[in-house]
Structure 1
Amino acid sequence: MEYRKLPHGDEQISVIGLGTSSMGESNEKEIIATIQEAMQAGVNYLDLASGHAKTFAAIGKAIQGQREKVYLQIHFGANYVTGEYGWTTDLKTIQESIQWQLKMLQTDYIDFGFIHCIDEMRDLEMIQQSGVIDYILGLKQQGIVKHIGLSSHTPEIVHKFLDMQIIDMVMFSINPAYDYHHGEYAFGKSDERMALYQRCEKEEVGISVMKAFSAGQLLDQEKSPFPQALTRIQCLQYALDKPAVVTVLPGVRNRQDLKEILDYTKATNQEKDYTIISTFEAVEHQGKCVYCKHCHPCPKGLDIALINKYYDLALLGDELAKDHYLHLEKKPVIVCNVDIANSVAHSMSIKCKE
């Protein structure tokens, strides 16, 4: 298992985490076995936006005695009073739900407290007016919440929270369909979504990825917006290659689903290669580097992905990125034939001069 450090913290987080939205479809014994098997495989990040109330007690039993080995992402706004998932912005209901979740999980602290599913300006206004943001900030001051996060599908909303400078992590939907404006939650154009990922990286706010398979559509040729189905491994790698992404949280129901997800940890570079999407007509090719490194190795030893990342961050005003670029061991050379150089460098976002 590979781990990535949370930018605003010391936590080393597994690149493959788990979503639990469908885990309640299994019985308690299977849920416990699935969580424990995942932890044995090195998974240490769990998202608790579950579809069913019974999932919480089962996970509490699964992590009993080893709570410190796992990071829990708990949602302020997910409500389970009916036994099934519900959404609320009412402060009193959220307070009661959080206390219930802590009790079921047999813990007294929250690693990542997420303001849940804010997709519209009206949602943001409601949680501000009801005091939800102040409530979670208060829990952080008390040490009950270690990090504050946000789950959203809307770039505009995420930017609003980034402006507040209160979040350490964003849960955002990233997959080839949404990034190229295909699907129910494909909010924002391709360049707007990439700009959001880049801003998160610049401001050192991590991203935990939801809906990496577009609710399974990308894995099914008949349902996919593309003419060819992608594999789980390709979708996971696609998300992990985006700026600021720390972990991807595919949903699993049982140990069989888990096994299919963990195949990623043994996959070859060829199995991870998703460059086939560049040939799909449904993809509006932007001519921009996405730092995937599938053009590597450069015969001259250039780190093309890193050069482009520094370039994009510098355009956003990141002075540190400029300095990092200047200290690279190898940089693009200046050539005399500008037209030829620029035609080659176009896909790299590098502008050559005489």
Structure 2
Amino acid sequence: MMEYRKLPHGEENEVFSTLGLGMGGIQKCSEVEIEKVIRKAIDHGINFFDFCAGGRNVYVPFGRAIVGQREKVFLQLHFGAVYNSQGDYGWSRNLKQIKDTFQWELESLGIHYTDFGFLHCVDTENDLDELITSGVLDYLKELKAEGKVRHIGFSSHTPAVANGIIDTCLVDMMMFSINPAYDFEKGDEYGIGSISERAQLFRRCERDGIGISVMKPFHGGQLLDEKSSPFGKSLTRYQCIQYALDRPGVLTVVPGVRNLMDLEQLLEFSEAPASEKDYSAIGGFMEIIDTGNCVYCNHCQPCPAKIDIGLINKYYDLSLAGDKMATNHYEKLNIKADACFECGHCDSRCPFHVSQSARMKEIAEYFKTYNH
């Protein structure tokens, strides 16, 4: 079954499918097939859609597909993503062009509002300055006040810039590039930030209630082929999706599809066994992996004491980052870190060489001290 996650700063009904859909790869299909893809996605529980880099020909068939079920779906539109007369995607900081594009998007989709209005592709401080000085940010604020934009968000590839935008307290959602190559410093020019910088950003989003929608989960398809993978070894789509979903703050992953067949393959993710989603193989890929740190893959399972080792590590890391809710979540667990009897099973299985038995003792002591 499809899993759903709630937007922290959202209404009760703002609950998103963990498997979303990006429109960036489907524009070469016929309008008939595009409509079929959207209808099938919704019928199978997908309710979150991102329009970044979708062609002009995507909007009208998408609008037809959601007639009578607008309230079932959540749409992410980008203020700065524009299209030329041939329908090709580009980007702009021109306020009039952005206003005209948004009006055209609403009309083409047959809707009166978007759930998310995103500051588009904010990768440098200069990008943010341009969006502010051109009036785009103020325009988004006006639209939110009018109810035409329910939430303001942004897309970025740069942790330092993302932190600066979150500091404004204006945003509820961030779209960020997350995959093992980027997170372990083996990506391209978009894999910006050190291992620790990226991890701290995701933990901050969890702590501050900023939801994350994930772009580039497959590193542009490079991770799916050992010939193009920066690790020299490939991962599957399901491994990449699960990896992204396990990062703190992530609500949904929005891979693109090229056609109905691609969608059908993606939809099998929800029913796939845990073994097909196990991404722990990245622990043995290369020396650059940040060994000694838990990445919550749960390859150490099953624990004889029935401890959810990955989840407890996540709550610990989040609590250290200042997330008080993580401490509350830990306290509600029926089986905590102090249940560990140091059998060593997890230590022998951890692909990242974490001494989990010692870490359980450390975590148990931390929460014991924290609560006193």
Q: TM-score range by the shorter chain?
A: over 0.9
Corresponding position: 1:187 with 2:195: no
Residue 326 of structure 1 and its aligned partner are, at CA, apart by: 4.5
Give the TM-score normalised by the residue count of structure 1: 0.93
- Identify which of 64, 68, 73 aligns with 1:65: 68
- Assess if the C-alpha contact under 8 Å between 1:287 and 1:346 holds in 2: no
SS at structure 2 position matched to 1:24: coil
Q: What amino acid maps onto 2:159 in structure 1?
A: P
Whole-angstrom CA distance in 2 between matches of 1:322 and 1:39: 35
SS at structure 1 position matched to 2:131: helix
Equivalent residue for 1:279? 284
Whole-angstrom CA distance in 2 between matches of 1:247 and 1:352: 31
* 1:327/1:52 CA distance change after superposition, 3 Å: closer
Residue 349 of structure 1 and its aligned partner are, at CA, apart by: 9.1
Q: How does 1:250-261 map to 2 (within 5 A)?
A: 250-261=255-266
Residue 168 of structure 1 and its aligned partner are, at CA, apart by: 1.0
Equivalent residue for 1:32? 35
- Assess if the C-alpha contact under 8 Å between 2:305 and 2:339 holds in 1: no
RMSD: 2.2
Equivalent residue for 2:3? 2
* 1:344/1:214 CA distance change after superposition, 3 Å: closer
- Assess if the C-alpha contact under 8 Å between 1:53 and 1:84 holds in 2: yes
Equivalent residue for 2:362? 350
Q: Summarize deviations over 1:154-212 as a string: whole Å, max 9, x none.
A: 11111011101111111111111111112221100111111111000001111100000
Whole-angstrom CA distance in 2 between matches of 1:61 and 1:159: 38
SS at structure 2 position matched to 1:25: coil
* 1:349/1:200 CA distance change after superposition, 3 Å: farther
- Identify which of 89, 92, 107 aligns with 1:85: 89
Equivalent residue for 2:351? none
Q: How many residues align?
A: 350
* 1:343/1:247 CA distance change after superposition, 3 Å: closer
Unpaired runs of at least 5, structure 2:
348-353, 366-372
Whole-angstrom CA distance in 1 between matches of 2:27 and 2:340: 60
Equivalent residue for 1:289? 294
Residue 352 of structure 1 and its aligned partner are, at CA, apart by: 7.5
Q: What amino acid maps onto 1:143 in structure 2?
A: G
SS at structure 1 position matched to 2:128: helix
Q: How does 1:1-354 map to 2 (within 5 A)?
A: 1-9=2-10, 10=12, 11-82=14-85, 83-184=87-188, 185-281=190-286, 283-326=288-331, 328-333=333-338, 343-345=355-357, 350=362
Whole-angstrom CA distance in 1 between matches of 2:103 and 2:324: 44
- Assess if the C-alpha contact under 8 Å between 1:113 and 1:145 holds in 2: yes
Q: Summarize deviations over 1:271-306 as a string: whole Å, max 9, x none.
A: 111111100115422421222333233222323223
Residue 254 of structure 1 and its aligned partner are, at CA, apart by: 1.0
Q: What amino acid maps onto 1:74 in structure 2?
A: L
SS at structure 1 position matched to 2:37: helix
Equivalent residue for 2:350? none
Identity among equivalent positions (%) equals 49
- Assess if the C-alpha contact under 8 Å between 2:22 and 2:52 holds in 1: yes
Q: Summarize deviations over 1:44-87 as a string: whole Å, max 9, x none.
A: 11101134111111211221222122111111110113321110
SS at structure 1 position matched to 2:49: strand
SS at structure 2 position matched to 1:288: coil
Q: Which moved more, 1:163-172 or 1:48-57?
A: 48-57
Residue 307 of structure 1 and its aligned partner are, at CA, apart by: 2.2
Q: Which moved more, 1:219-228 or 1:301-310?
A: 301-310
- Assess if the C-alpha contact under 8 Å between 1:71 and 1:111 holds in 2: yes
